[in-house]
Structure formats: structure tokens, C-alpha cells
Amino acid sequence: MTADSAPSSDTVLVDALEPAEGPETAAALASAVALDSERAVDAVAALLHGKRAAVLTGAGLSTDSGIPDYRGQGAPTRTPMTFQTFVADERSRKRYWAGSHLGWRVFRQAEPNLGHRSLVQLERAGAIAGVITQNVDGLHTRAGSRHVVELHGSLDRVICLACGQAFGRDSIAARLETDNPVLRDPDSIHIAPDGDADVGNIDDFVVPACTVCQGMLKPNVVFFGELVPTETFLEASALVQGADALIVAGSSLAVNSGIRLVEQARRRKLPIIVINRGVTKGDGRALHKLEAGTSETFAALAERLLG
């Protein structure tokens, strides 16, 4: 489907439907949407039968694990930390570490959801070649996926920008809490919509340094203003090049690295399927766009392809 063409019969446009007038209309509308959703999944399953797909996932896949989607519908406006600010401004770096530490607690407690588990089933059966994820939560690996390309890194690792030494996030978290007792009481810290943390006297906040060279530590994730490491992008690109189809799930494709992979698939004339609640930058390139949740959609696809 091109950007200027009319939606096909297997495209589910839930948000384009008119508001219901009453209970009977609402029930009929819900039934029609459910039927359209089933037909859309049937069409995608038929398309993928006998093929191996690459899957590109975004934050929408992890919302069912309790991790917020910061770009989804209704998400607050936020100003993400840039690499340049992190390196150059000590106070911003301290606020980032305070907020990131509390965010790490949420990530650490999150469990893989039905969508993650369904992808594991599909990979084991040979229906998908692997997963490229824009998420930094590590949930694909924890679910059991074997071929995972973490496009933007992972929060469970910390690196020294000076000597390259890597550390486990849990060890850095322990040091943060030892040096900053306020972090042991998360209710005393206010997190702003942009991710900054108000920890009272920010000047007293202690950020851990590298134990090897005393250099600056940074979570091993790609910040705004940074490039995806070349070898990582090449691995993701190779996964797309070797696939028979590309599924984009839970991503608005607002980040350049994601849309570049979709464009590679388009140039290879691969069928592209987009599963996302809300508009994405890849909708005009998609053969099928499913306006649906990722967990239930992957579960339904697994049932049809493996059942």
C-alpha cells in the first residue's frame, strides 16, 4: 500500500471509525473491528506461510511488560538526554543518572510478555530469522530469543568512555545507592516528563567513576546525537537482507536507524507488515498495516503459523 492509496480491505483503521451513538452501535462496531482484525491476521499469516521474516521491534512491544512507550499515543512530551549534554554538563549528567537508576529498577522488575514469548516460538519453528530491537530493556533475550540485534544497546551494561571497560548494571546500581542514600527512597524523588530527576541538592549527588581509570561511565545505550555502532547496524542489515519479509512491531519508526532498515526491505521488494497502534513513518511502505496490539497479534500469528 502506498502513502496516497486507499486502505486495503485487510488494513484495520480503528482510530478512523466514528464514535458510537449507543450501546447497540458500540457492540456492533466492536464486533466489526474484531472481525477485521481477524481477517488482517489471516492475511498476514497467509503471506508469511513458508517464509522467514525479520522482525523490528520498538517500545510498543514492551508496554505489556509495564515499560512506558515514550512516543506512543498520550505519552508526555519529553526532551531526551543527548550525548553532547551528557558529556559536557555535570549537573545534567547527575540528574540523568538519578532518573536512569529509578528507570533501571522498573526495567529490572519487568518480565517478558506474550509478544516476546510468541516471537521465541516463531523463531524456534523457523518462521522468523531473528529480532532487531530498538528497545534497551533486554526482554527479548530474557524471553529466550536467540538471534537478537540490540540496535540501541542495552541498559544492563555500563561502559567507560575513556578506556572502554564494561560493567554490569547491577554493580553500578549498588554503588549509586551506597553513595546516594536518597535513591533508596524512590518516593522522595520526582521524575519530570523529560526523564530528569529532582534529587534535592544535585551538587551532592555522586556519580560513579570507572574503577580502572576513573573515567566517565555511561549506560551502554545509544543516546540522541550518537550513531548506532557500524557493526551493529551491519548485523541488523544482514538480517533484513537474508529475510523473506519484514515485520515492524510497536515502533513509530521515528528514529533514523529503524526507517533505514524498512527502506532496505522496500528496495529489495520484501513484503513489509506494520503492527502498531497509531501512525508510523513506515505505513506508506507497508503491504499490511495492523492497527493492533503486538502481544495479541504475535500470539495469533503463532497460532496460525505453528498450529
Positions of CATH 3.40.50.1220 in the chain: 40-67+113-152+228-306
pTM to 2 decimal places? 0.83
The helix (H) or strand (E) run that includes residue 171 is helix 169-179
Task: Give strand pairing partners of 262.
Answer: none
CATH homologous superfamily of 40-67+113-152+228-306 equals: TPP-binding domain (3.40.50.1220)
> Sign of dihedral through CA atoms 186, 192, 195, 201?
negative
CA–CA dist 62, 69 (Å, integer): 8
Angstrom distances, CA of residue 173 to CA of 23, 96, 97, 156, 185: 51, 13, 10, 10, 14
Tell me the residue ranges of DSSP E strands in the chain. 53-57, 128-133, 148-150, 153-160, 166-168, 190-191, 197-198, 217-221, 245-249, 272-275, 288-290
Question: What percent of the chain lies above the pLDDT cut of 70?
Answer: 80
Positions of CATH 3.30.1600 in the chain: 83-109+156-221
In this predicted model, what pLDDT tens digit does every residue of 130-169 receive, in sequence order? 999 999 999 999 999 999 999 999 999 999 999 999 999 9
In this predicted model, what pLDDT tens digit does every residue of 221-278 receive, in sequence order? 999 889 999 999 999 999 999 999 999 999 999 989 999 999 999 999 999 999 999 9
CA–CA dist 18, 89 (Å, integer): 49
Active-site residue set? 152
Q: How confident is the model over 8-21, as a mean pLDDT? A: 33
Give pLDDT, residue 133: 97
**CATH architecture observed for domain 83-109+156-221:** 2-Layer Sandwich (3.30)
- Please give the residue that has the higher pLDDT: either 122 or 200: 122
